[in-house]
Amino acid sequence: MQLKSILLWFLALILMGSLAIYQRTTGPTYPLKGSVVLEGKEYKFKFLRSQDSDKDAPVELEVPEGTKAIFRYKRFKSHDDWTAVELEEKDEVISTAIPMQPPAGKVEYQLAVSDGEKYIPLTDEPVIIRFKGSVPDFVLIPHIFFMFFAMVFSLRTGLEVLVKGRQTYWMTTVTLLLFLVGGLIMGPIVQKYAFDAYWTGWPFGHDLTDNKTLIAFIFWLIAWLVLRKNRANRLWPAIATVVMLAVYLIPHSVLGSEIDYTKQEEKPQTELTP
């Protein structure tokens, strides 16, 4: 029985690791990577899609000597015209920066490099970057810790249901407490630092990160309440696990906080220095 429990915990950790990798590689705020072939050589690039709001976001690309490029950008959800900047290689690097925005402000941008005959856009569509406030480690680390183990315990609870084990109730209790602290207490504090709002999910907004945390917590709360009366119940812990998996398959930060500049008084954006 002890070996069986150890194997189930190990499996829960593996599943959690897989979910974490999926979240990290599919979210709209993680860097966009790609490559371009210039003069017969492949050059890799990485475009930022998230940046602290107290500094410009760098855009750099290694290129052959003499390469020219055009960088264009504008605030996302605005009436701005595109601003285009001509760039030239320096020390075999094309370099510029996206002007800083307030927390939740977004900028769409695109870089096109010349192959000597025409300019080649490096991305089919403009890249969108969101600026955010800096979150201190003493807030961010506990939030990540509690959410990570909330996921581990929820997966372990689901496995306990699957093998018809007897520890479902206490595992559900721990899962619920971890979601409460990590998602509904620490989560809003992180949100406040990053976007100056404690909660942007239902009923005040449509932030999916907030909403999916709330949905997962509600189903685990129902499962816990049911198990308090009937420790043998397996239906609701199973439902809570499935719901948790479903909501966490949604990439992180989808439909996150953003400024709609079209609804604000127009202000000139910071100019770039080529």
Is-contact 105 116, C-beta < 8 A? no
pLDDT given for residue 255 in this prediction: 59
Widest CA span in the chain: 74
Is-contact 172 220, C-beta < 8 A? yes
| Tokens 């107290």 belong to residue | 54
Cα–Cα distance list, 198 to 101, 145, 192, 194 (Å): 20, 19, 5, 9
Give the chain's residues under pLDDT 70: 1, 252-256, 265-274
Model's pTM, two decimal places? 0.82
pLDDT given for residue 210 in this prediction: 83
pLDDT given for residue 1 in this prediction: 67
pLDDT given for residue 252 in this prediction: 66
- The domain segmentation of the chain, as residue ranges, is 2-27+135-248, 32-133
CATH code at 32-133: 2.60.40.10
Tokens of 30: 């993680």
- Any residues with CB less than 8 A from the CB of 93 and at least 6 apart, and which? 60, 61, 62, 63
pLDDT given for residue 249 in this prediction: 80
Read off the pLDDT of residues 3-41 as tens digits, 9 standing for 90 and up.
888 999 999 999 998 888 887 777 788 899 999 999 889
Pick the closest to residue 101 from 86, 80, 87 (CA basis). 80
- Which residues are 33's β-sheet partners? 46
pLDDT given for residue 224 in this prediction: 97
pLDDT given for residue 265 in this prediction: 58
Using omega within 30 degrees of 0 as the cis cutoff, is the peptide bond preceding 64 cis? no
